[in-house]
A and B are shown apart, each in its own frame.
Chain A
Amino acid sequence: MTARDPYALPTLALHAGAVPDPGTGARATPIHLTAAFVFPDSEHAASLFNMERSGHVYSRLTNPTVAVLEERIAALEQGVGAIGTASGQAALHLAIVTLAGAGSHLVASRALYGGSHNLLDYTLRRFGIETTFVEPRDIDGWRAAIRPNTRLLFGETLGNPGLDVLDIARVAEIAHAHRLPLLVDSTFTTPWLLRPFEHGADLVFHSATKFLCGHGTVIAGLLVDSGRFDWVASGRFPELTEPYEGFHGMVFSDESTVAPFLLRARREGLRDFGACMSPMNAFQVLQGIETLPLRMDRHVANARRIVEFLVAHPQVVRVAWPELESHPDHLLARRLLPRGCGAVFSVELKGDRAAGRRFVESLALFSHLANVGDARSLVIHPASTTHFRMDAAALAAAGISETTLRLSVGLEDPDDLIDDLKRGFRAAFRR
C-alpha cells in the first residue's frame, strides 16, 4: 500500500493549496497580479533572498496565486511540489535543463508531441544535449539506449499520433535500475485519468493549456516532482548534491531531502531562463481544475460516443484509440486508464488529401485549429496544416496519412457532434 492524501481527488481539486484570503476573507483564490512584494524590513528581505524563510519576492520566482495552483497540482498528482511555467514547452525545458547540460544525453519515446520532438531533436542538440529516440513499446530499446551520460528518460502517457500507451512501470524500472529518473508528459490524461507517480514515474509535466485549464483560454505549464527519486543515492546529479555557486554554495539535497530538484529548478531554471507563469493564467487554470473530474468524465463519455459512430462509418479506415480492442496497447490501457483513455484521438478516412480538407472545412461545431483539451470540440487535418509540405510517403513515415484527422472531443451534446461529423462526411465524399 502507498501512503496517500486523506482527501479524494475531487475534494483536492477544489481545496488543495488554498485557504480563504487572510487579508480580505475572499473565498476564491485572489489574482495577485503584482510583479513584486514589499519587504517589511531589510533583514526580512535578506532572509527571503537567502531561503531562510518562505515567502514571495518577485513573481518570476514565486507568486501567491501561482503557488496555490502549484500546491494544488502537487496534491492531485501526489507530488511534493510543482512549478508553474509559461507553457508546457517551458515545463519540459525546465525539467531537462535542471538535470542536463552540454554533453548530456536523454532517452525519449519517439511518439511525442511535435513541439517536444523539435525541442529534443533540434534545439537542445544545438546546445549539446543529445537525445536517442526509441519506440515506446520497445522495452529493450529503452534499456539499450542508455549511456553513461544519460540523465533522463522521457515519454508521454498517451503518445502522438497513435496514442501509444507508455508502460510507465516497466520504463521506470529500467530508469531506476540505471539510477535515472523517468519524466512523463501527462497532458492528455490529467491526474483524473492517470497518476504516473503511482506507477513509478519520478517527474510529471502538463501542458495546462489543455484539459487542466479546459477552456482554451491560456497557455500554461506545470512541472511536478514525486519526491521519491533519491538524487543522493543515484550519485549522477551533482547539480543537486554538490554546492551550487550560483546560489551561495547551496547544496539542494541538504536543504530538502525530498524536493532538491524543485529547489534547483526554481532557484536556477526559473530564475535564469525566466519562463514563469502569469498569475492571471494560474487563476484560469485553477478555475478549470475545480471541475476537472466532472469535465474529464464528460470528455471521455462523449469521446466514446464519437468513436462508436466513427468505427461503424463506411468511410472510416481506422480509429486509433486505446479503448478499442484493435489498438495495440488496449490491454495496457485497461490496466493504466480504468476511467478512460481521454478525448483526443486520430481517425483515418477513406479518400485523399482533398477529402480530408473538405471534411474539416465543412464542420460547424468542431473548430479547426491546432490545440486539444478545450471545452469545445476541435479538429485538425495535419496533411493540409501542420504537415502540409509532406508527401504521402513522408506522412506515412510520421505515422499519419493524407486523410488522418485528429479530434479533441469537447463537452457539447454528443448527438450534435455526431450530426456535425455527418456533415463532414457528406462534404468529403459527395459525388
Chain B
Amino acid sequence: MRLQVDGRGVFVYTGGRRFDPAAPTVAFVHGTPHDHSVWGLQTRWLAHHGWSVLAFDLPGHGRSDGPPLSSIEAIGEWLPRAIAAAGASRAVIVGHSMGSLAALEAAGRAPSAVAGVALVGVAFPMRVSDTLMNAARDDEAAAFDMANRWSYARLAHPPGAPAPGCSAYVAALRLMERQPRGTMLSDLAACNAWTGGLERARALHCPALFVLGERDQMAPPRQASALIDAIPGARVVEVRGCSHAIPVEGADELRDALADWLRGPAFGSPNPGG
C-alpha cells in the first residue's frame, strides 16, 4: 500500500494481506541500498500467522519518494510517524544492518510506539571502511560488488529466495542497481556517523532480539557484543554458515527466530499464531 509521510509518498508491503492496525504490528526496516523485498520470506509468513506487517521502502529507496533520509537519527524519527501513518499506534521494529540502527534509534525517540526491537546483522559502531565509502562515492558498481561479496557466505542458498531457482546473489546486485544514484553513499554515511548506539541500548525498555550471521563479514558478531551487553535480557540467535544477508541467506532461521521471540513471554500470552 502507499502512505503519505511528511508529505511524501511511501510504499509499504503488507505481507500479501490487507493491513489491520488492530493486530499486533511488526515493522520491517531494510538496509542499504535495498527495499522491502529483502524481507519476503519473513513478512509474508508473519502476515499470515496473526501479525500485521509493515515492510517499508525507506524514503529514496524502492518505490518511496526521495531523497533518502541522511542520518540514523532522521530515520529513527521518521519510523514512528510512518507506523502511525499506517494507522498503528505501536509496533515491534525489525531492522537489518542500517535498519537495525534505525530501529534502536526509534525505540529511544518514541518508546511508547516501539514494542520491541529485532536487530539483524547489527554492529556498533557500524564503521564503514574507506574502501567501501570511496567506491560508493566514485564507482557505485564496485561498491555493490564489495557489499555483495561480503554479504553472502556461499554460492548457493538452499532453497533459493524468494523461490527455488532464483540467484539471491544476482538478485541483490540488481536490487542495489535500481536505487537512485547516491543512495548507498548517503546510507553508508549515516551508518558511519551514528554514535548513539550504546546510549540507546542502555536506555531500552522493550524486548530485544539479536540475529547475527556466524560468518558475517560486514558486521561480524563480535561487533554486536557491546550492544548485547548493554541490553540485559536480550535474546541472541546466531545463524550458522550465514554472512550479512541474513534475511535471504538465513531466511528460515530468521523467520523462526522472529516467530519464537514474538510468540514468547516477552510479549505476553497468548500470542498471535501461538
Interface residues of A (CB under 8 A from B): 1-7, 12, 15-19, 22, 47, 50-56, 62-64, 66-68, 70-71, 74-75, 78-84, 226-228, 230, 232, 248-251, 254-259, 262-263, 266
Whether A62 lies near B62 (C-beta < 8 A) is: no
Q: How far is the CA of A64 from the CA of B252 in the complex (A)?
A: 17
Interface residues of B (CB under 8 A from A): 13, 16, 35-37, 40-41, 44-45, 48, 62-63, 139, 141-142, 144-145, 148-149, 154-156, 158-167, 169-171, 173-178, 251-252, 255
Residue pair A16, B155 in contact (C-beta under 8 Å): yes
Min CB distance A20 to B, Å, is 10
Label chain A's interface by main secondary structure.
loop
Q: How far is the CB of A173 from chain B (nearest CB, A)?
A: 18
Q: How far is the CA of A75 from the CA of B139 in the complex (A)?
A: 22
Contacts of B160 in A (CB 8 A): 54, 67, 70-71, 81
Complex CA–CA separation, A4 to B172 (angstroms): 11
Tell whether, in the assembled complex, residue B16 and residue A255 are in contact, meaning their CB atoms are under 8 Å apart: yes
Known contacts A52-B48, A257-B175: does B166 contact A80 (CB below 8 Å)?
Answer: yes
Residue of A with least CB distance to B171: A80
Max count, chain B CB within 10 A of own CB: residue among A2, A22, A84: A2
> A50-B44, A256-B171 provided; 17 other pairs, C-beta below 8 A?
A1-B139, A1-B141, A2-B141, A3-B177, A5-B169, A6-B145, A12-B155, A15-B155, A17-B155, A17-B167, A51-B44, A52-B41, A54-B159, A66-B165, A67-B164, A70-B164, A80-B170
9 A-B contacts (beta carbon < 8 Å): A2-B141, A6-B148, A16-B155, A54-B41, A81-B166, A254-B13, A255-B40, A258-B171, A262-B165
Contact in complex: B162, A263 (CB < 8 Å): yes
The docked-state distance in angstroms from the alpha carbon of A255 to that of B39 is 9
Residue of A nearest to B35 (CB): A257
Contact indicator A258/B141 (Cβ below 8 Å)? no
Do the beta carbons of B174 and A18 come within 8 Å of each other?
no
Nearest CB on B from A164, distance (A): 29
A55→B164 contact, CB < 8 A: yes
Main secondary structure of the interface of B (DSSP, over half): helix
Q: In the docked arrangement, what's the CA distance between A203 and B156, Å?
A: 22
Would A74 and B170 count as touching, CB distance under 8 A? yes
Report the nearest B residue to A79, measured CB to CB: B170
Q: Are B142 and A1 in contact (CB under 8 A)?
A: yes
Closest to B57 in A: A257
B3 → chain A closest CB, angstroms: 14
Q: How far is the CB of B243 from chain A (nearest CB, A)?
A: 13
- In the complex, A19→B159 CA distance in Å? 11
Q: For A7, list chain B residues within 8 Å (CB).
A: 155
- By a CB distance below 8 angstroms, the chain A residues around B171 are 80-81, 227, 256, 258-259
Given the interface contacts A3-B144, A75-B170, does A257 sit within 8 Å of B62 by beta carbon?
A: yes
Contact of B167 among A19, A74, A254 (CB under 8 A): A74
Residues of A within 8 A of B145 (CB): 3-4, 6
Do B156 and A266 touch (CB < 8 A)?
no
The answer to whether A262 and B163 have CB atoms under 8 Å apart is: yes
Q: Assess whether B41 is in contact with A53, with CB atoms less than 8 Å apart.
A: yes
Does the CB pair B166–A262 fall under 8 Å? yes
Closest to B162 in A: A256
Residues of A close to B142: CB separation below 8 A: 1, 3
Contact indicator A83/B165 (Cβ below 8 Å)? yes
A81 to B44 alpha-carbon distance, docked (Å): 20
Report B-chain residues with C-beta under 8 Å of the C-beta of A12.
155
Q: Which of A3, A19, A79, A258 contacts B148 (CB 8 A)?
A: A3
Query: What is the distance, in angstroms, from A287's C-beta to the closest C-beta of chain B?
Result: 17
Which residues of B have CB within 8 Å of A258? 37, 171, 174-175, 178
A151 to B242 alpha-carbon distance, docked (Å): 40
Q: How far is the CA of A55 from the CA of B159 in the complex (A)?
A: 6
Contact partners of B45 in chain A: CB under 8 A = 47, 52-53
What's the nearest-Cβ distance from chain B to residue A338, in Å? 21
Q: Do B167 and A54 have beta carbons less than 8 Å apart?
A: no
Cα distance, A55 to B164, chains bound together (Å):
7
Most buried by B among A50, A226, A230: A50
User: Measured between alpha carbons, how far is A51 from B251 in the docked complex, in Å?
Assistant: 13
Q: Which 6 residue pairs across A and B have the least CB separation, nearest first?
A: A81-B166, A70-B165, A227-B174, A67-B164, A52-B45, A3-B144
Report the bound CA distance from A408 to B163 in whole Å: 36
Partner pick for A54 among B35, B144, B155, B164, CB 8 A cutoff: B164
- The residues of B that contact A81 with a CB separation of less than 8 Å are 160, 163, 165-167, 170-171
- Complex: A263 Cα to B162 Cα, angstroms: 9
Q: Which residue of chain A is the closest to B34 with respect to CB atoms?
A: A257
Q: Please, how many angstroms separate the alpha-carbon atoms of A76 and B154 in the complex? A: 16
| A56: B residues at CB distance < 8 A | 159, 164
Q: A4 — which chain B residues lie within 8 A by C-beta?
A: 145, 173
What residues of chain B lie closer than 8 Å to A262, measured between beta carbons?
A: 163, 165-166
- Chain A residues near B163: list those with CB within 8 A: 51, 54, 62, 81, 259, 262-263, 266
Q: Which residues of B contact A22 (CB under 8 A)?
A: 158
Which A residues are in CB contact (< 8 Å) with B169?
A: 5, 75
Which listed residue (A5, A6, A18, A251) contacts B156, Cβ 8 A? A18
**Closest chain A CB from B64 CB (angstroms):** 12
> Which of B45, B156, B165 gathers the greatest number of chain A CB atoms within 10 Å?
B165
User: Closest CB-CB distance, B255 to chain A, in whole Å?
Assistant: 7
> Which of A66, A74, A251 has the most CB atoms of chain B within a 10 A radius of its CB?
A74
User: Do B141 and A266 touch across chains, with their CB atoms under 8 A apart?
Assistant: no
User: Contact at A257–B178, with CB atoms within 8 Å?
Assistant: yes
A75 touches B167 (CB 8 A): yes
| CA distance in complex: A22, B252 (Å) | 16
Cα–Cα, bound, A68→B164 (Å): 8
**Complex alpha-carbon distance, A51 and B48, angstroms:** 11
**Contact B167 A18, beta carbon cutoff 8 Å:** no
Residues of B within 8 A of A83 (CB): 165
Find the residue from A50, A78, A227, A258 having the highest chain B CB count within 10 A.
A258
Q: Known contacts A22-B158, A67-B165, A262-B165; is A53 also within 8 Å of B252 by CB? A: yes
A71 close to B144 (CB less than 8 A): no
Residues of chain A within 8 A of B36, CB atoms compared? 257
Contact between chains at B174 and A266 (CB < 8 Å): no
A51 interface neighbour in B155, B162, B165, Cβ under 8 Å: B162
A51 to B154, CA, bound (A): 23
Set of chain A residues within 8 Å of B177, measured between Cβ atoms: 3, 228
Q: Inside 8 A of A259's CB, which chain B residues have their CB?
A: 162-163, 166, 171
A52 touches B148 (CB 8 A): no
